[in-house]
Amino acid sequence: MRRSVAKTNLITLGIESSCDETGIGIYTSKDGLISHKLFSQVKLHEEYGGVVPELASRDHIQKAIPLIKDALKESGVELAQLTGIAYTAGPGLSGALLVGSSIAQSLAWGLGIPALGVHHMEGHLLAPLLESKKPDFPFVALLVSGGHTLLVEVTRIGQYKILGESLDDAVGEGFDKTAKILGLGYPGGPALAQLAKKGDKDRFTFPRPMTDRPGLDFSFSGLKTYARNTFIDFPNEKENIAKAFEVAATETLTIKCKRALKQTGFKTLVVSGGVSANLSLRESLDQMGEENDVSVFYPALNFCTDNGAMIALAGHYRFLAGQSNENYEISIKPRWSLEELLPV
C-alpha cells in the first residue's frame, strides 16, 4: 500500500543505469543535492574497445545496491525517509535499463512510495540546474554525447521541441570512432581531445558538415571518414588530424547553436552531455556567447557524463508535479523522444 507523502520536503533517490555508468543521487526539496555516487565501467569495456551490453547489465546488478547504501550513509538519510525513487527508463541499453527499473520499482513497492521512469536526456538537459548559478527558462539546449546530438527549444520543464539532431553519428560517436582510427585508447573522446592539444590547427582544414545549407540538423559520419582518409595519407600526423577534427566538430556545433538562438530569439544556451566537458567546445561557445550577448551554461565537469544526480533532480521536479508510475510496473523505453514528455 502506498503511503501518503507530504511535499514540504521531498527526498528523491535517483538511479542511472542506461549505459556503462552506475549513478546514484539523492535530492531534497530543502537542501538540494545531498549525495551522489558513481561507478564507471570504463576499465571493464576497455579491452573490447566499446560497451558490451551484457557486461554492462551484469555490472549494474553488482554495483547499484552498494552505491545506494553508500549514498544513504553519506547523506544521513534513512531508507524509510525516501519519498520517491526516480530511475532512467530510456533511452539506453535495454538490459541496463531493466536493472535500474527493477531495483527502483521493487524498492519503491517495498517502501510504499512512488517510483517514476525519467528520460535520460531530460536528466542531461536539467543538469545545469544543479549549479548555484542556474539558467532561466526559456533557453536553447545543446545535448551532446556518445549517442545523441540534439538542439532543443526548452520553454519549461517537459515542454521540448527538437530543432535539430544528428542524421547519422552523434558527435561523441564521431570523436570515439576517429580516436579508434588514430589508434588511441578507450574511451576515445577524451584521448582525442588530449592529443589535439599538441596539434597545429592550421595544418589541416576539415569540412564543417551541413553548415553550408539552411537547417539545424547534424551529420558527423562524413567528418570521421575525412579524418580516416587524411590519416591514410599522413599517418605520422596524428596530433594535427586530432586537432583538425576537434576544431571542425566544435565549430560545426557552434554555428548550429548560433542559428538556433537566432531562430528562437532566445538569449540563453544550455550545453550538457559528455561532450560538453570538452574544453575547446566550451571556449568556442563562450566566445560565440560573448559576441552575441548570449548567456551559456554548463553542468560541472563531474555532471557532464551520465550520473545519478541529474536523474534524482529530473525525477524530483516531476514528483513535485504529482507524476509517478501508478502500478509499480517494470517498464523501460529504449527509444524515447523528448517531445513525448509531459510538461511540468
Q: Are 263 and 232 in contact (CB under 8 A)?
A: no
Sign of CA dihedral 317, 322, 325, 328: positive
Cβ(163)–Cβ(140) under 8 Å? yes
- Beta strands 21-28; 295-297: pairing state: unpaired
At 308, list the grid cell: 545519478
pLDDT of residue 185: 84
Adjacent-strand bridge partners of 86: 14, 116
Phi-psi region of 267 (alpha: psi -120 to 50; beta: other; left: phi over 0): alpha
Q: Do strands 21-28 and 32-40 pair parallel, antiparallel, or not at all (unpaired)?
A: antiparallel
Residues 6+ apart with CB under 8 A from 206: 223, 226, 227, 230, 244, 245, 247, 248
| DSSP type of residue 240 | H
Nearest to 33 by CA among 87, 74, 79: 74
Phi first, then psi, for residue 123 (nearest 5°) are -60, -50
Residue 337: phi, psi to the nearest 5? -85, 140
CATH 3.30.420.40 domain residues, the chain: 11-126+304-340, 136-298
Question: pLDDT below 50 — which residues of the chain?
Answer: none
pLDDT at 5: 55
Of 56, 67, 48, which Cα lies nearest the Cα of 17? 56
Q: Which fold has domain 136-298?
A: Nucleotidyltransferase; domain 5 (3.30.420)
Contact 143, 164 (CB under 8 A): no
Question: Which cell numbers hold the place of 73?
Answer: 550513509
Q: Using one digit for the tens of pLDDT, what is the confidence trace for 113-160?
A: 999 999 999 999 999 999 999 999 999 999 999 889 999 999 999 999
pLDDT at res. 76? 98
- Which CATH architecture is the domain 11-126+304-340 placed in? 2-Layer Sandwich (3.30)
pLDDT score, position 8: 73
Cα angle vertex 169, ends 186, 299, to 5°? 65
Task: Tell how far CA 267 is from the center of its chain.
Answer: 22
Helix (H, G, I), strand (E, B) or coil at 15: strand
Identify the helix (H) or strand (E) that includes residue 174.
helix 171-181
Contact 307, 21 (CB under 8 A): yes
CA distances (Å), 261 to each of 152, 154, 285, 301, in order? 10, 11, 12, 24
What pLDDT sits at residue 244? 98
Sign of CA dihedral 317, 319, 325, 329: positive
Angle, helix 238-264 to helix 221-233, in steps of 10 degrees: 160
Q: pLDDT tens-digit profile of 58-110?
A: 999 999 999 999 999 999 999 999 999 999 999 999 999 999 999 999 999 99
pLDDT at 146: 86
* Residue at 222: amino acid letter: G
Closest by CA to 117, choosing from 87, 96, 139, is: 87
Secondary structure of 105-138 in the HEC alphabet? HHHHHHHCCCEEEEEHHHHHHHHHHHCCCCCCCC
* Model confidence, pTM: 0.95
Length of the chain: 344
Between strands 268-272 and 159-165, the pairing is: unpaired
Gap between the Cα atoms of 11 and 13, Å rounded = 7
- Nine-digit cell at 207? 569540412
